[in-house]
Chains A and B, each alone.
Chain A
Amino acid sequence: MAQMLAAAPAVSAAQTAPQTDAAKLAREQFDKNSQAMASVKIPIATEPPFHFKA
């Protein structure tokens, strides 16, 4: 039983490793996006281009 419990996380970790790497890469990309967008000066009156029709 102890062996089974010990083995379980190891299998799980092996299965999730590619996704963990992918998650890290995604977060790094999002951080880069965020930094790139932070450099843009936006006039305070600038509205997002949404079109709400009442």
Chain B
Amino acid sequence: MATVSDDVFFAGIADLTRRLHEKEFSAVELTRAFCERLERLGPRHNALALSLRPQAIRQAHDADDELKRGRYRPLQGIPYAVKDLFAVRGHPTTWGAKPYAGQVFDEDARVVQRLDKSGAILIGKLAMIALAGGGYKSAAASLTGPCLNPWDRTRWAGGSSSGSGAATAAGLATFTLGTETNGSIVTPSAFCGVTGLRPTYGLVSRHGVMAASWTMDKVGPICRSAEDCGLVLQVIAGSDSEDPGSAGRGFSYTPQFARKPQDLTVGYAPVDFAEWVDPAARPAFQAALEAVKSTGVKLKEIDLPDFPYGPVADTISRGDRVSIFEDFVRSGKVDELADPAQIAWLKESMDLPAREYLRAQRIRTLIQEEFRALFVDVDMILAPSRIDVAPKISGPIDAGSRRDPEPKSPGIHGRLVSAGNLAGLPAISLPCGFANNLPVAISFVGHPWTENHLLGMGRLFQSQTDWHRRHPELG
């Protein structure tokens, strides 16, 4: 039996694929090694919802049989894990909430089906904020407790795709899937120092995925690199008649055809990098800005159109969630959630007036129009993914986001996540350094269907930096 060395846990997809093809180890050996690590380190970080070892080993045997016959598939033998809101046939899908702990579906989510066809091996389901968030104030708003950051277990991994960020960072899976309604891929990716891609709304099917907001939910990969995000996105993207939000588009990962950096104009707000970010993180962010400049892109100072993005996103999220979970709230099961703030948010949302929800949606139309105009002047928008490092699990999750004195200009960082999600825009979060031994990250946001440009920029940035190759020492 071949030995699987520890470096496989932090290897990229292409590297593992090559080593599987060269028979350095088999898919079964690789899968066993990852399952053992997931089962050992996952609970230590409150990151594991469910190990799927038996079915994973069976899948790995199939992968080895195919490799022996010379049949190669895109992600053959690559171990991955999913946030526990993706249905996996015959296994519990808890949505991170105690009242749903016994829920079992009889069909795999569409993206799980697509990854299965690509030969990827599903090894487990990962912790998440209950019901993918909405009004929660504590890292403990989860069935599995606060998900601990692999870089510092006194810190939060971010949410709501908490386990997806932590598992990728800790080398518990080669890649993971998360979802984002309003920051749930970008935030854990940034806090955990991994690369996360939020696709354009409608590019990836949500069939078999818990709904939080029909018009804002997106499924995306959390990986070691932009390269891996492209390889995974190519598999999971595509039209689906069973997802009413599906745009009927596919995606081919073609970074070789991405526009040259010299042809790109990137909008940003200097104040974000100079004054808004955590003072301890400023050297890292300034260095990241220099690295972006050195690619040859033109940087242009911009401001975002003036809209109350946060309130609009919160209102739409309230309306959709409380409609989706109306029976759950009325039944009183809502009281079994872990976070009192989330319980109150859901209950109080029952009184949201229809005209207010529609007002938010109509403002959203204006936001989309203004962003279309903004993207005439710039090709991408750049901002810190988060201006702070991961918060302590013992305090409120928004602790530290204020500045005293507050900079005179608001910058764009605080509005870009909600704005991007309201307009359905794709984004990529790239690790860009450390502050107090915790990761920080930048995000590029593009106009719809420009994933290849974002991935190309990510690859370029990661060819000049090595932050995405760093990983915590976990034993």
A residues whose Cβ falls under 8 Å from a Cβ of B? 18-19, 21-23, 25-27, 29-30, 32-34, 36-40, 42, 46-51, 53
Contacts and interface: CB of A to CB of B under 8 A. Distances in A.
A33 B308 contact: yes
A33 to B, nearest CB: 4
Given A26-B348, A37-B363, A19 B340 contact: yes
A1 B70 CA distance: 80
A7 to B, nearest CB: 22
A49 B361 contact: yes
Interface in B345-363: 345, 347-349, 352, 356, 358-363
Interface of B: 135, 215, 244, 307-308, 310-312, 314-315, 318, 340-341, 343-345, 347-349, 352, 356, 358-366, 368
Given A26-B348, A36-B310, 16 more contacts: A22-B341, A22-B344, A25-B341, A26-B344, A32-B311, A34-B311, A36-B311, A37-B311, A40-B363, A42-B363, A46-B362, A48-B365, A49-B361, A49-B365, A50-B361, A51-B244
Nearest to B313: A33
B344 A23 contact: yes
A51 B246 CA distance: 11
| Highest count of chain B CB atoms <10 Å: which of A22, A39, A50 | A22
Contacts of A48: 358, 361-362, 364-365
A40 B344 contact: no
B361 A37 contact: no
Given A19-B340, A19-B343, A37-B315, A47 B365 contact: yes
Given A19-B343, A22-B340, A48-B361, A37 B135 contact: no
Contacts of B312: 37
A37 B345 CA distance: 19
A40 B308 contact: yes
Contacts of A38: 359
15 contacts: A18-B340, A22-B344, A23-B344, A26-B341, A26-B348, A30-B318, A33-B315, A36-B308, A36-B311, A40-B359, A46-B365, A48-B361, A48-B364, A49-B361, A49-B368
A33 B366 contact: no
